[in-house]
Amino acid sequence: MTITRFAPSPTGRLHVGNIRTALHNWMLARQAGGSFILRIDDTDATRSREEYVEAIRADLSWLGLDWDREERQSARLERYEAAFEALKDAGRIYPCYESAQELEVKRKIQLGRGLPPIYDRAALKLDDQERSQKEVEGIAPHWRFMLDHKEPITWNDGIRGVQKFDPAQLSDPVIRRADGSWLYMMPSAVDDIDMGVTQVLRGEDHVSNTAVQFQIFTALFAAGFAATENAGKTVPAFAHEALLVGREGKLSKRLGSLGCDAFRDRGIEPEAIIALLARLGTSQPVEPIADRALLVANFDLATFGRAPAKFDEHDLDRLNAAIVHQLPFEAVRARLPEGMDEAGWHAIRPNLSHVGEAAEWWQLVTGPIAQPAFSEEDRAYLAEAAALLQWNGDPWSTLTGALKQSTGRKGRALFLPLRQALTGMGHGPDMGELLILIGENEAQTRLRSAAGL
């Protein structure tokens, strides 16, 4: 079974890039009839906040991205200890004693010499006595995973194609800090094994991390770590999508803060966000598709490109208006002004960019309205309209037909004064639908008022 996961750290709110990653992993799982895991990566106890966990759940729920199970890394510390000991026994991790300042000096020296800033494995040259002396001095070690330099690291990426890394050009990653806390690399691999994750789709900024994690996976398998019945026995299939950029083609700080709160404040529908992000960065057209089943059915990693995916808020606004025009009454009933029924929604919907604008347009029906000043000729015309108004199945067509015949008016001269008298505006919803909603008595009152009667 296909199993994907979305693994946010609860150190802040989800932003649009996180949402896109969550959506694509959700789509992969739903397309295959598989399972989508929400995994809260909360091993960083100093920065993780429960309020952000709640916010992540709320945002995903608002977007309609349901998950089949939830996991918390903070509840899995024993598994990480077991993996740590297994790798330690296998000789694949080793203690290091350099301070952050010492490592930074080494990095600068290497860069100054035109060399890649790769850890020099100086800690491996320490003997037992030297390590003991470090401990006596109160220097607690951090721990690195030892990369195997014998063979290149290769995999067939679901988006980028064949990837190849020389492990000798990568630093042995730190997997545990001196205070005993965990970094991302090993716990993530442990979780993917234990949870049977089959596909990992994430941003291209993780490509080198994947290279390192491939060796962590294989080392854990070699150490016999896949202990549970449902655990994965092979490395997941990885795919790395291009990152989002702003309209100007550059990484934008705004994209790092643009999230569900900002979308909700602007009246953006979840369906519009999904329609945009589902195909952003692919060769498929971005269209106002409110049917998620259709988006899921056509989701295909082969359509993803390597160029940065441009996120344009104007495109989102355009999609939102088109999505709003498709929303059925039942989907928006709770957000509509009091008294607006299905007929009212149908009449006003084509004029909306956001559902929240419905109240303003509904006032054309409920009143009061502010009528413009009319010329004497138009007042006489509106007085005749009041006299000719007849209430039947289509009072607007009946009225305009009678006025055209009696006055000879047509086009703008025929319709505009009537619209202005009845709604106070020169544009708006279809008058055939709107006049019925206004009602006969109110329509007569407005026409007579505009005529000065």
Q: List the CATH number of the domain containing 383.
A: 1.10.10.350
pLDDT of the residue at 194: 93
How far is residue 232's CA from residue 226's CA, in Å, rounded to a whole number? Answer: 7
My answer on whether 445 and 388 are in the same domain is yes
My answer on whether 360 and 380 are in the same domain is no
Q: Among 270, 279, 266, 261, which residue's Cα sits nearest to residue 314?
A: 266
My answer on whether 342 and 396 are in the same domain is no
My answer on whether 349 and 380 are in the same domain is no
pLDDT tens per residue across span 273-302: 999 999 999 999 999 999 999 999 999 999
Peptide bond into 368 cis (omega under 30): yes
φ, ψ (nearest 5 deg) of residue 37: -105, 130
DSSP character at residue 5: E
pLDDT of the residue at 232: 61
- Straight-line distance from the first to the last Cα atom of the chain, in angstroms, rounded to the nearest whole number: 75
My answer on whether 349 and 385 are in the same domain is no
Q: Is residue 381 part of a domain?
A: yes
pLDDT of the residue at 258: 84
* Residue 187 in this model has a pLDDT that exceeds 90: yes
| Segment among 31-40, 306-315, 435-444 with least mean pLDDT | 306-315
My answer on whether 436 and 388 are in the same domain is yes
Read off the pLDDT of each residue in 151-155 and give the average, rounded to a whole number. Answer: 96
pLDDT of the residue at 225: 82
Is the separation of the CB atoms in 438 and 449 below 8 Å? Answer: no
Q: Is 253 annotated as a binding residue?
A: yes
Q: Is residue 158 part of a domain?
A: no
Query: For residue 332, which amino acid is it?
Result: V
Q: Is the dihedral of CA 81, 82, 83, 87 positive or negative?
A: positive
pLDDT tens per residue across span 332-366: 999 999 999 999 999 999 999 999 999 999 999 99
Structural domain harbouring 356: 329-366
Helix axes 77-89, 185-194, angle to 10 degrees: 110
Q: Is residue 339 part of a domain?
A: yes
My answer on whether 386 and 333 are in the same domain is no
The residues that bridge with 164 in the sheet, in sequence order, are 154
Q: What percentage of the chain has pLDDT greater than the value 90?
A: 92
Last-in-domain residue among 341, 366, 391: 366
Query: What percent of the chain is helix, strand and coil (3-state, nearest 5)?
Result: 50, 10, 35
| Segment among 131-145, 170-184, 216-230 with least mean pLDDT | 216-230
The total number of structural domains that make up the chain: 2
My answer on whether 391 and 434 are in the same domain is yes
Q: Is residue 260 part of a domain?
A: no
My answer on whether 342 and 381 are in the same domain is no
Last-in-domain residue among 366, 391, 411: 366
pLDDT of the residue at 246: 86
Read off the pLDDT of each residue in 172-184 and give the average, rounded to a whole number. Answer: 95
Q: Is residue 258 part of a domain?
A: no
* Residue 227 in this model has a pLDDT that exceeds 60: no
pLDDT tens per residue across span 115-146: 889 999 999 999 999 999 999 999 999 999 99
Q: Is residue 347 part of a domain?
A: yes
pTM of the model: 0.91
How far is residue 8's CA from residue 53's CA, in Å, rounded to a whole number? Answer: 9
CB neighbour class for 249 (10 Å; exposed up to 12, middle 13-18, buried from 19): exposed
Q: Where would I find the H helices in 306-452?
A: 313-324, 329-332, 342-348, 358-366, 376-388, 395-407, 411-423, 431-438, 440-451
My answer on whether 398 and 446 are in the same domain is yes
Is the separation of the CB atoms in 32 and 277 below 8 Å? Answer: no
φ, ψ (nearest 5 deg) of residue 140: -80, 140
pLDDT tens per residue across span 382-404: 999 999 999 998 999 999 999 99
* Residue 449 in this model has a pLDDT that exceeds 70: yes
Last-in-domain residue among 304, 338, 366: 366
Q: How confident is the model at residue 249 (pLDDT cuts 50, 70, 90)?
A: low
pLDDT of the residue at 266: 93
Q: Is residue 301 part of a domain?
A: no
Is the separation of the CB atoms in 5 and 37 below 8 Å? Answer: yes
Q: Is residue 174 part of a domain?
A: no
Read off the pLDDT of each residue in 80-84 and give the average, rounded to a whole number. Answer: 96
How far is residue 430's CA from residue 394's CA, in Å, rounded to a whole number? Answer: 12
My answer on whether 440 and 381 are in the same domain is yes
My answer on whether 405 and 438 are in the same domain is yes
Strand extents, DSSP E, 261-392: 309-310
* Residue 164 in this model has a pLDDT that exceeds 80: yes
* Residue 253 in this model has a pLDDT that exceeds 60: yes
